[in-house]
């Protein structure tokens, strides 16, 4: 292992080689991430251009993201006794967690993007509902954002 020379600005994972970083970008971020030199990343972090993110959240093989993983494999991955893992898993799945389906972007040939829309005060909900009704074939989700601008964000799938 050499010293990390490149950083993915989206998930802050470090790489020693540029081609590995590029492949990471393709595989995990559909080529949308900035791969920058470590020094540029550090400058960007201190200026607030880049934000700290845990690379683990973006892993497609993230053991917490794969809801169909067997308790046995999960216990092995996390080096936990199977019985404790099963107990905690059941507890979490009953209380806090739900399973969900995700679209295979590569297979569908589409890309995912966020459209953030500024709307007049108090109309966020109305606009969000409107977007969902009018563009339901392309809109994955619509949410209102709580900030000074009263924004609406729509997650859109496009070709
Ligand atoms: Zn990344």
Question: Which pTM was predicted?
Answer: 0.45
Considering the domain boundaries, does residue 123 fall inside one? yes
Q: How far is the CA of 86 from the centre of ligand 1 (A)?
A: 31
CA 109 – CA 128 distance, rounded (Å)? 26
Bridge partners for 15 per DSSP: 6
Confidence of residue 2 (pLDDT cuts 50, 70, 90): low
CA Rg value for the chain: 20
Name the residue range of residue 48's domain.
6-58
Q: What is the DSSP letter of 56?
A: G
Ligand 1 is an ion; its neighbours by CB within 5 Å are: 8, 10-11, 13
Once rounded to an integer, what is the mean pLDDT over residues 90-98? Answer: 87
- Tell me the C-alpha distance between 107 and 12, whole Å: 26
Are 120 and 146 part of one and the same domain? yes
Residues 116 and 139 grouped into a single domain: yes
Q: Are residues 23 and 49 in the same domain?
A: yes
The rounded percent of the chain whose pLDDT value lies above 70 is 88
For residue 142, being part of any structural domain is answered with yes
Residues 93 and 124 both lie in one domain: no
Give residue 82 CA to ligand 1 midpoint distance, Å: 31
| Domain count of the fold of the chain | 3
**Do 93 and 117 fall within a single domain?**
no
- Token pair recorded at residue 77: 């991955």
Does residue 47 form part of some domain? yes
Specify whether 145 is located in the same domain as 115: yes
Which residue has better confidence, 102 or 86? 86
In a domain, 1, yes or no: no
Q: What is the mean pLDDT of the chain?
A: 81
């Amino acid at each position: 292992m050499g010293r990390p020379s490149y950083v993915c600005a989206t998930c802050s994972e470090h790489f020693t080689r540029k081609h590995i970083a590029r492949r990471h970008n393709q595989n995990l971020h559909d080529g949308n991430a900035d791969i920058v030199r470590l020094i540029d990343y550090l400058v960007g972090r201190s200026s607030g251009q880049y934000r700290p993110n845990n690379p683990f959240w973006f892993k497609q093989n993230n053991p917490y993201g794969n809801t169909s993983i067997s308790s046995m494999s999960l216990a092995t991955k996390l080096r936990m006794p199977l019985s404790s893992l099963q107990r905690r898993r059941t507890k979490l799945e009953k209380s806090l967690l739900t399973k969900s389906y995700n679209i295979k972007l590569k297979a569908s040939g589409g890309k995912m993007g966020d459209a953030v829309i500024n709307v007049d005060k108090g109309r966020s909900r109305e606009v969000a509902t409107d977007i969902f009704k009018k563009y339901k074939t392309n809109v994955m989700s619509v949410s209102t954002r709580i900030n000074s601008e009263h924004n609406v964000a729509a997650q859109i799938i496009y070709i």
